A and B are shown apart, each in its own frame.
Chain A
Amino acid sequence: MDKQWRFYRPYRSPFDPCVPKRVKAYIVPPNQFMPFQPPGLRTFSPHEALRRGTLWPDLYSRYNPPHREEIDP
């Protein structure tokens, strides 16, 4: 599982007509851990950077949400 994703279980009240999902997921991308980008970071090649959407691998986030059955048994 992508380590950028975190999960928590919301409270599910017995009287709740619209019960929330069992497990909710949210992403904490790499830029949250880097207040100021240090110089000299490694970079992608131009075509790779274009495909990935960033020039810096250390700031790359795939952002593909975890699939349903995995987190909502």
Chain B
Amino acid sequence: MTHHPMPKEYYRLLYELQAVDFVLVELTLYLDTHPDDTQALHEFHQYQRRKQGLTQQFEQAFGPLHEFGNSPVGARWTWAESPWPWQV
């Protein structure tokens, strides 16, 4: 399942995931020092749900993102196929 280059959707989903992940990092750092900021906590929940949705969408179309059982593997063992992370 390696055609060159990957379809547009592949890059779009990764870019969305990257942005959502960055917001989650920032909110995590903020919540570390502001644990009772319920508004920020609510935002964190929202972005967490968005990330789960995007991850599921990506993995259904392009295979697992995480290893060691953290991602659905499906019928074929494909994580070793290209593009590797540095080839994306």
Q: How far is the CA of A36 from the CA of B19 in the complex (A)?
A: 25
Chain B interface size band reads 10 to 19
A55 touches B23 (CB 8 A): yes
A65 within 8 A of B: no
**Which residues of chain A in 30-47 are interfacial with respect to chain B, using CB atoms and an 8 Å cutoff?**
36-37, 39-40, 46-47
Question: Considering residues B20, B23, B34, which has the most beta carbons from chain A within 10 angstroms of its beta carbon?
Answer: B23
B1-35 interface code vs A (CB 8 A; 1 in, 0 out) = 00000000000000110111011001100100110
Residues of B within 8 A of A37 (CB): 30, 33-34
Q: How far is the CA of A11 from the CA of B30 in the complex (A)?
A: 43
B39 touches A49 (CB 8 A): no
A–B complex contacts, Cβ < 8 Å, 28 sampled: A36-B33, A37-B33, A37-B34, A39-B34, A39-B37, A39-B39, A39-B40, A40-B37, A40-B39, A46-B16, A46-B19, A46-B20, A46-B22, A46-B23, A47-B15, A47-B19, A49-B19, A49-B23, A49-B26, A50-B18, A50-B19, A54-B26, A55-B22, A55-B23, A55-B26, A55-B27, A55-B30, A56-B26
Using a CB–CB cutoff of 8 Å, the interface residues on chain B facing chain A are 15-16, 18-20, 22-23, 26-27, 30, 33-34, 37, 39-40, 47
